[in-house]
Amino acid sequence: MMCGGTSASKPADADIQAIVDEVKGAVENKLGNKLDKYDAVSYKTQVVAGTNYFVKVNIGDEHLHLRIFAPLPHTGASKELSDMQRGKTAENDLEYF
């Protein structure tokens, strides 16, 4: 990984699912509806003054790409949804956005 770049894509695990679960309310607010299916599929990370997580999430009829910012632990701040892309498929690669 180059400095400031993103990591290679990795399969999502329980830790990544926990991170996307923390911002589910914000995702539902942006979409304007509740999600029954909300499963992290894969992710990339980018180290900044904290960590950006780029996560592909399966919501049933489409996939979302989420950018979630996790601040440094000593700040006491919580994770936040920074951006979201809709209309993705399982085949779409995660890219910086």
Q: Which of 8-22, 25-39, 69-83 has the lowest mean pLDDT?
A: 69-83
- Other beta carbons within 10 Å of 62: 12
Question: Has this prediction a pTM greater than 0.85?
Answer: yes
For residues 64 and 83, the answer to whether their CB atoms sit within 8 Å is no
Mean pLDDT, range 2-10, rounded to an integer: 76
CATH of domain 10-88: 3.10.450.10
- Each residue's pLDDT tens digit, 74-93: 887 889 999 999 999 999 99
Locate the domains of the chain by residue range: 10-88
Q: Is the pLDDT of residue 1 over 60?
A: no
Centre a 10 Å sphere on the Cβ of residue 17 and count the other Cβ atoms it contains. Answer: 17
**Pairing label, strands 50-58, 39-48:** antiparallel
Side chain identity, residue 83: D
